């Protein structure tokens, strides 16, 4: 069947070409995700153009990857390739987290099926950690991340370990730390994501670090480090204006750092942004 003389396709023909059912196309029209080119006011028949095939095929492919409809709509509405890529990155992170959760579930079931572990035990485990233990974990994990950051030939497994350790440290600081340690935990998460080349989460954690410092009036080297984190994440994201703004703020903040050693450390970091 060829398109009608007006160049449009029936919903059935369009669906066969893009890999979507008629029901799905109607649903996506109702949701505003994929509108037809025209709708006959008398019959309600939907018509599509060949120019819409690319978007329709993108929708079909994204749905095959279990991308939620809200993210599908955001993907189609994204104004830049970078915006589209960020949406897919967020979905990938969700898929990976779900996959890890299912793998843990499969492992646990396998242990029970093979009678290596009981389904129900009489042992009651108290998961609560005392504050001293949490603080020690936060410190040790923070320092471990630094060791991995300074390792020049990290493996993929070590990259994963570094990322998880940074988040674990920040989690424990959230349980027992004060506001400056929370900011430092966010700063380290941002640095790890920068090193791993992941701009969106690097910016997220840099913003959290800066927000904590600003909300609580945290100054000295913490605010300088927050500006440095924002500049570094902005550079990774390709935001030249953000890089220039926060690099200048970080340089100005160096003057307010009381300890010369702290000032030298932050100054060295800021110098690498030139």
Domain count, the chain: 3
CB atoms closer than 10 angstroms to residue 164:
13
Asked if residue 84 and residue 30 are part of one domain, the reply reads no
Q: Kind of pairing, strands 38-39 and 8-10?
A: unpaired
Average pLDDT score over residue span 11-29: 96
Q: Is 1 inside any structural domain? A: no
Asked if residue 217 and residue 191 are part of one domain, the reply reads yes
pLDDT digits (tens, 9 = 90+) for 41-72: 999 999 999 999 999 999 999 999 999 999 99
Domain encompassing residue 155: 131-271
Q: Of 17-21, 93-97, 121-125, 241-245, where does mean pLDDT reach its minimum?
A: 121-125
Amino acid 12: pLDDT = 95
pLDDT digits (tens, 9 = 90+) for 99-152: 888 888 888 888 889 888 888 876 655 567 788 999 999 999 999 999 999 888
Q: Is 183 inside any structural domain? A: yes
Decide which of 210 and 1 is more confident. 210
Report the run of H or E that residue 39 belongs to, with start and end: strand 38-39
Spatial separation of the C-alpha atoms in residues 265 and 207, rounded to whole Å:
21
38 forms beta bridges with: 47
Asked if residue 143 and residue 96 are part of one domain, the reply reads no
In Å, what is the CA distance from 261 to each residue of 52, 115, 185, 228, 252?
Answer: 61, 58, 20, 17, 17
Q: Is 135 inside any structural domain? A: yes
Asked if residue 72 and residue 88 are part of one domain, the reply reads no
Asked if residue 162 and residue 105 are part of one domain, the reply reads no
Q: Is 125 inside any structural domain? A: no
In Å, what is the CA distance from 192 to each residue of 35, 110, 163?
Answer: 42, 34, 6
Do the beta carbons of residue 234 and residue 196 sit within 8 Å?
A: no
Structure tokens at 146: 């630094």
Asked if residue 186 and residue 98 are part of one domain, the reply reads no
Asked if residue 173 and residue 208 are part of one domain, the reply reads yes
Average pLDDT score over residue span 81-110: 88
Q: For the domain that residue 181 is a member of, what is the CATH number?
A: 1.25.40.10
Query: Which 3 state secondary structure label does DSSP give 198?
Result: coil
List the one residue out of 193, 235, 192, 186 whose CA is nearest residue 212: 186
Do the beta carbons of residue 187 and residue 180 sit within 8 Å?
A: no
Q: Is 124 inside any structural domain? A: no
Q: Is 212 inside any structural domain? A: yes
């Amino acid at each position: 069947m060829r398109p009608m003389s007006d160049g449009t396709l029936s919903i059935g023909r369009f669906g066969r070409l893009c890999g979507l059912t008629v029901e799905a196309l109607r649903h996506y029209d109702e949701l505003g995700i994929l509108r037809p080119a025209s709708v006959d006011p008398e019959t309600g028949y939907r018509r599509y153009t060949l120019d819409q095939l690319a978007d329709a095929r993108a929708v079909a492919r994204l749905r095959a990857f279990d991308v939620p409809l809200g993210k599908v709509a955001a993907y189609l509405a994204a104004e830049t390739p970078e915006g589209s890529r960020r949406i897919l990155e967020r979905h990938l992170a969700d898929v990976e987290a779900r996959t890890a959760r299912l793998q843990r579930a499969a492992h646990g079931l396998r242990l029970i099926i093979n009678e290596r572990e009981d389904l129900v035990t009489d042992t009651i485990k108290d998961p609560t950690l005392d504050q001293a233990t949490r603080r020690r974990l936060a410190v040790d994990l923070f320092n471990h991340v630094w060791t991995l950051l300074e390792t020049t030939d990290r493996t993929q497994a070590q990259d994963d370990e570094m990322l998880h350790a940074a988040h674990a440290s920040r989690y424990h600081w959230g349980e027992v730390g004060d506001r400056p340690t929370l900011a430092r935990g966010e700063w380290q998460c941002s640095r790890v994501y920068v090193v791993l080349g992941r701009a969106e989460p690097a910016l997220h954690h840099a913003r959290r670090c800066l927000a904590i410092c600003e909300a609580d009036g945290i100054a000295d080297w913490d605010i300088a480090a927050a500006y440095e984190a924002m500049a570094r994440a902005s550079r990774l994201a390709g935001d030249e204006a953000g890089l220039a703004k926060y690099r200048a703020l970080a340089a100005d903040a160096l003057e307010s750092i009381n300890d010369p050693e702290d000032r030298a450390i932050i100054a060295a970091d800021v110098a690498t942004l030139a």
